[in-house]
Structure 1
């Protein structure tokens, strides 16, 4: 089936004669999960406000949907299906996103009366785990995590720099990653986990509720565990060739493209532009390196709100990225197409996500 939805606004990056293609290693976990330093993401309906923490806010004129969201969050029992629909349509903002993400991830129960007790128990449990397991952590792992955190969104003051708040944020993220590593010795720490954690910790730390923001480290840990439970197998090299490994997921992406745009699929197959050359990073890092940071949160609204799970929606968005670039890809050769997909061009985010939702699923 060929998906025809018109031609989106797709801004191609300027060509650089000296730029080399990144041939990602599939067998290992080295360059495949390194940070994409030169991403040029879409600038949609967002603007940066203030300084200090580098907070980001969406610009929205949809007061009706805002009222609907406020109503849903005020109910004694949250209607998760309604919340998923609101989040999926892009109607979250910095005021509500932290609470909605916690609900979508199952960290908060649907019953509002249970929130306070659930949060208190989880935060106490996190403190106990830190006290028990983070005594004398492995210096080599600490060093690797610290190096990766130093490279996490260096253009955003919240994560980078020498101010005390930035250092505290990196310290909290270090604790989360160390504790996750300690509790999952078969996987350990893998470069790129820091990038998956970053949007979660940012959203929870910038919660306008001061008590929640002050407990962002504990809450982020449990939310991170939930996100990773759906994608951690992609970080495990021993599972690469299994039914839950990265190779299987890349094959599913190829099948999804074939079912929705066979002409484009065949063109990329003939050129040998294989998914492992570009989509390995897309999938493993949940698209955190392909778009600007404020747009990542909008994409994650969709990923987390999908009732079938993060991975199902992730594959749809990845396939939509190919479909939306079909005009350029069909004209391109191996080199130009790989360069385009490894440095995905600027695109209208609403169009991309709408395309993802309208794809025909594979059986």
Structure 2
């Protein structure tokens, strides 16, 4: 029996248990999920704690409940007041009452939906997946008699009244908003929706549920790989949106400090994480560390994006998925992420020691193509020695 088939059989025996040994599974996944796409969705759902390894018999009822909960969130947050039973004598679109549903509607458009729309349209442009029609579009949205798609809310044709101002006793002044995101990806016709539209909806609902944090640029790059894993798998595609949303929410609960400016200086904040990388590089390769310091190449020039987006923009998507297998399966997930980042720097040490400031910045901001397993192998060595 080949090594691959033997490894695959071992993996299948693990995953088919009624009570999955999550410790053994994590150890297996850390070395890479067998390249059968059908296994990654179930593994990631376990790693995100979306599924409980100790109650496999209850998965069906749990998934049904979570998917119904998400469907209710779509109804609550994505359907505009004009499509709900709103008494216009009490809640009018021109009302300046801060508790007005219309006031919230227009504020959401201006505050974060415009940016979400822009980011969702340009997600992973190197692959066609996000521009393609979703296999299982949301029936609440695509089959509605009225237009309730989110991207229409930031289109000039519909976003015609948003800011209502009143000075003194005079008449109200309505400022028309004519902004919108450039259409890098086209929207679908009635009955269909593109995968990027699904991503836009998930990010919008997340921002609504997490008003203290809201939407921060880069979240689209984190949710993209998760949605791709679920939606591109025939066995998991039907409920990919709901499952992805809850898994993304779980991941964001772990890394939310990366996106909160007031927590930058804490150990779990983005600056604190970059400082950890600096200290590790000093210990593992002082020559490279000194070279970067001499040239004034600070971690924020390159590792801010590496850490906050979990390296989702530094490698091609298949490599990102393989990389995330190991990161998610590690008990010290983001300590391991720091090891991966440090390994990336050390693996290009010869170029760093030879190059000038300009070339080194370009090298680290546009990391060269490299076998991801080679990067992970070096990261494992750093983790063990640490």
TM-score class normalised by the smaller sequence: 0.7 to 0.9
Q: Where in structure 2 are the equivalents of 1:119-198 lying within 5 Å?
A: 119-136=63-80, 137=105, 138-140=108-110, 141-160=112-131, 161-162=185-186, 164=188, 167-198=193-224
Give the TM-score, by structure 1 length.
0.79
Aligned residues: 301
Partner of 1:335: 358
Partner of 1:246: 270
SS of structure 1 residue aligned to 2:243: helix
1:102 to 45, 55, 59: 45
SS of structure 2 residue aligned to 1:159: helix
| Conserved? CA contact 2:223–2:248, under 8 Å | yes
Q: Where in structure 2 are the equivalents of 1:188-227 lying within 5 Å?
A: 188-209=214-235, 212-227=236-251
Give the TM-score, by structure 2 length.
0.74
CA distance in 2, matches of 1:242, 1:276: 16
Which segments of 5 or more consecutive residues in structure 2 lack a partner in the other structure? 81-104, 132-184
After superposing the two structures, state which structure 1 stretch, 95-104 or 150-159, moved more. Answer: 150-159
C-alpha RMSD of the superposition: 2.0
Which segments of 5 or more consecutive residues in structure 1 lack a partner in the other structure? 1-59
| Conserved? CA contact 1:207–1:213, under 8 Å | yes
CA distance in 2, matches of 1:132, 1:337: 49
| Conserved? CA contact 1:86–1:92, under 8 Å | no
Q: Deviation of residue 325 (structure 1)?
A: 0.8
SS of structure 2 residue aligned to 1:221: helix
CA distance in 2, matches of 1:89, 1:360: 14
Q: Deviation of residue 92 (structure 1)?
A: 3.3
Provide, for residues 214-241 of structure 1, a one-character-per-residue CA deviation record: whole Å limited to 9, x for no partner.
Answer: 1111000110011111211111122222
SS of structure 2 residue aligned to 1:231: helix
Q: Deviation of residue 162 (structure 1)?
A: 4.3
Q: Deviation of residue 362 (structure 1)?
A: 8.9
Provide, for residues 51-97 of structure 1, a one-character-per-residue CA deviation record: whole Å limited to 9, x for no partner.
Answer: xxxxxxxxx97111111111111111111112112211123331100
- Structure with the bigger RCO (C-alpha within 8 Å, sep 6+) is 1
- State the structure with more CA Rg: 2
CA distance in 2, matches of 1:175, 1:250: 31
Provide, for residues 235-280 of structure 1, a one-character-per-residue CA deviation record: whole Å limited to 9, x for no partner.
Answer: 1122222333211111001111112112211221222211110000
| Conserved? CA contact 1:105–1:227, under 8 Å | yes
